[in-house]
Amino acid sequence: MFYGLEHSTLYSIFGKLIIGMLFKHPELFWALFLLIIPILIHLFQLRKFQNTPFTNVKLLEKVISKSRKSSTLKKWLLLLTRLCFLLALILAFTRPYLANNSIAFKREMVIYLDNSFSMQARINTISSLEKSVQELIQTIPADMDISLFTNEEVFQNTTMKGIRESLMSLDFTNEQIDYNQIILKGKSLFSKEENTIKNLILISDFQSRILQDSLFLGEDISIHHVRTIPDDLSNVSIDSAYIRDVNISTKELWVNLSSQRELETIPVSLFDKDRLIAKNAAKFDENKTAEVLFTLPPAESIQGTITISDAGLSYDNQFFFNLNKKEQIRVLAIGNEDSSFLGRIFTKDDFIFLSTDLKNINYSELAIQNLIILNEVEALPNSLKDAISVFLSKGGNLVIIPALEGSMSDYNSLFPKGLETSLNSLIKEERSVTDINFNHPIYRSVFTQSVQNFQFPKVQSYFELRTKLPSIINFQDKSPFLVGNSSLYIFSAPLSSPNSTFKNSPLIVPTFYNIGTNSLKLANLFFEIGGNNEVDIPVSLGQDDVLRLLNADFEFIPNQIRYPTKTTIKFIDNPNKDGIYAINNKVETLQYIAFNYDRAESIMDYPSLETISATSLESNLTESFKNIEKELSITELWKWFIIFAIIFMLCEVLIQKFIK
């Protein structure tokens, strides 16, 4: 450890005398008291002269004069060389040096190592991450104190020797923190001590998505960029898959691909588990995109994997999807009005639809429904109101279509108080339904663009509706016609003729169909890891039962909410690895679910770093570390003082020999 000048008074004194020179062992300056010894010898070494009579007195006086001058000069020269010899020897033992940076001798180093999927790109024959790990192990001294963090892990106050094994086994991740987060996290790992040299080394390919809205936040630290640019900047990615056309005999699976290089075709394989079931060629257009069609049996369950072979990034060369046996959604319509239009929408392929009037309600069946529709019921018996309130509280879904002569107080008694919702007085005035909320979940996938020229339905009378529920369809004056969230939907007008033409409108099918399908959120073809994913499993769990998700490598218990007819699973932190997972209740597999990584890192875009201020920018860690060492390097001077001591010792010998 180097000590500062402030550690001793003598250090401060001699530091001022010798500008810019620093010492490793300033405590040895106490040896300067040894310089008194040659001074004392010089003062007390007196030579006695013997008088000898000569006849020529004048000549004797001249000889005596010359001898005294010569003796005095020799003594002073010997004193000077001895003092210089001791001084040079003492300075040599204090280990003097010159520092090229500052007098703050303690230094701290924090390293960020990017292990996102984009670091799979190859440099020579290994990935960018493997190359970076090799450089870290070879460049950073094994016992040097450092802190290192990745996109997921933190190794604080450790050494390269201590984390070597962890770095060698470091895996890629779909997590990617942005530049501002990297700087802030790096700064948090430095100590609060002053007079320290803080160096933050960022090892990454610095994709464009890392640098979005980047700011320079490292005013008090030195930031060093080590950029790893792969040899090949091209990549082919499987971006998505979807089911487009389904009929009695076939189901069409379409796969989207993109490329960053000019490419004519690439083979695409489709597997069910480990069995190859189809193969096709993707033909890329001028936009470097391609679509591939696979024809599948309509009712077959498939645990599918789509694969390609590409020399670019490997994480996006496979895509998982799952086709489960379709669960039918239970829908019950209650009312004396004709419900045949609902029967034509809720077909038996996807739904189990029942219709009943008030007199024939089977209350035991209410609890097992996914969706109940009150179709213009004029008055609700207390038993039905109580049953529907329980149904809603246990995760059921409800649609209310009011009757012209209906009891508003009965309807209002069903609405939860927090929604501040009420149906009020009847307004007998014609209104056109013109305003559609295309961003609402029940319409989000229906329209490819906002509809301008559309034959909108009309109503002759409607009820004033006050609510905090999101608006789905509005009248021309922006008053609500249909409002709803994920479990409660309310119309403000009867739909029967002649009051409304909504039954004859193209809107009626997607409106009720999507309300029905949203009442039981079946598993999608696939989910994206990290998204706000939710799925309903049509199973009633026991008191101590839980659903588990597992595959060959990983098992976890997701967040889940139990209802009488279903269990809702929400995915937050898990899973963090792509693949197909089984949903198990004890040892029984209920169904499968597929997860894929976000494809954001598939775009290999590496913008310039000139706009981001940094101390240095290098293509490898070795050069960056040399720059840091150069800033912190010192020039050792003790050898020069040893040479000076030898020179002064030789000078004394020469003085003794040649000066008489």
> Which long-range contacts (C-beta less than 8 Å, at least 24 apart) are formed by 651-655?
651/81, 652/78, 652/81, 652/82, 652/85, 655/74, 655/77, 655/78, 655/81
* Cα separation, 252 vs 632, whole angstroms: 65
Exposed / middle / buried, residue 196 (Cβ in 10 Å: 0-12, 13-18, 19+): middle
Peptide bond into 575 cis (omega under 30): yes
Read off the pLDDT band of 261 (50, 70, 90): confident
| Amino acid sitting at position 60 | L
* Cα separation, 538 vs 536, whole angstroms: 6
Tokens of 504: 């004859």
Who wins on pLDDT, 521 or 487? 487
Who wins on pLDDT, 271 or 249? 271
The answer to whether residue 12 scores a pLDDT higher than 70 is: no
Indicate the class that CATH gives domain 106-232+610-628: alpha beta
* Cα separation, 582 vs 595, whole angstroms: 11
- What share of the chain has pLDDT > 70, as a percent? 85
Model pLDDT, residue 8: 46
Tokens of 143: 């016992």
Read off the pLDDT band of 279 (50, 70, 90): very high
The answer to whether residue 380 scores a pLDDT higher than 70 is: yes
The answer to whether residue 592 scores a pLDDT higher than 80 is: yes
What sign does the CA torsion over 149, 154, 159, 161 have? negative
Tokens of 343: 């029967």
Question: Are 533 and 571 contacting, i.e. CB atoms less than 8 angstroms apart?
Answer: yes
The answer to whether residue 11 scores a pLDDT higher than 90 is: no
- CATH 2.60.40, domain 527-596, yes or no: yes
Containing H/E element for 322?
Answer: strand 318-323
Peptide bond into 498 cis (omega under 30): yes
* Cα separation, 519 vs 230, whole angstroms: 48
Model pLDDT, residue 115: 93
Please name the CATH architecture into which domain 238-323 falls. Answer: Sandwich (2.60)
* Cα separation, 243 vs 249, whole angstroms: 14
Which part of the chain is CATH 3.40.50.410?
106-232+610-628
Residues 313-342 pLDDT 10s? 889 999 999 888 777 888 999 888 888 888
| Amino acid sitting at position 148 | L
Tokens of 179: 């530049």
Read off the pLDDT band of 33 (50, 70, 90): confident
| Amino acid sitting at position 392 | L
* Cα separation, 308 vs 257, whole angstroms: 10
Cβ-Cβ contacts under 8 Å for 46 (sequence gap 6 or more)? none
Exposed / middle / buried, residue 320 (Cβ in 10 Å: 0-12, 13-18, 19+): buried
Q: What is the DSSP letter of 360?
A: G
Read off the pLDDT band of 581 (50, 70, 90): very high
The answer to whether residue 242 scores a pLDDT higher than 90 is: no
Model pLDDT, residue 245: 65
Containing H/E element for 268?
Answer: strand 265-272
Read off the pLDDT band of 307 (50, 70, 90): very high
Query: Where do runs of H (alpha helix) occur along 140-274?
Result: 160-168, 179-188
- Which listed CATH number (3.40.50.880, 3.10.20.30, 3.30.70.120, 3.40.50.11890) goes with 329-518? 3.40.50.880
Question: Are 18 and 98 contacting, i.e. CB atoms less than 8 angstroms apart?
Answer: no
Question: Are 308 and 317 contacting, i.e. CB atoms less than 8 angstroms apart?
Answer: yes
Question: Are 112 and 203 contacting, i.e. CB atoms less than 8 angstroms apart?
Answer: yes
What torsion do the CA atoms of 98, 100, 102, 105 make, to the nearest 10 degrees?
A: -70
Average pLDDT over residues 337-363: 86
Which part of the chain is CATH 3.40.50.880?
329-518
Residues 448-483 pLDDT 10s? 555 555 677 888 898 998 888 888 888 888 888 999
Containing H/E element for 391?
Answer: helix 382-393
Read off the pLDDT band of 17 (50, 70, 90): very low
Question: Are 370 and 345 contacting, i.e. CB atoms less than 8 angstroms apart?
Answer: no
Question: Are 242 and 133 contacting, i.e. CB atoms less than 8 angstroms apart?
Answer: no
Average pLDDT over residues 47-52: 53
Question: Are 92 and 133 contacting, i.e. CB atoms less than 8 angstroms apart?
Answer: no
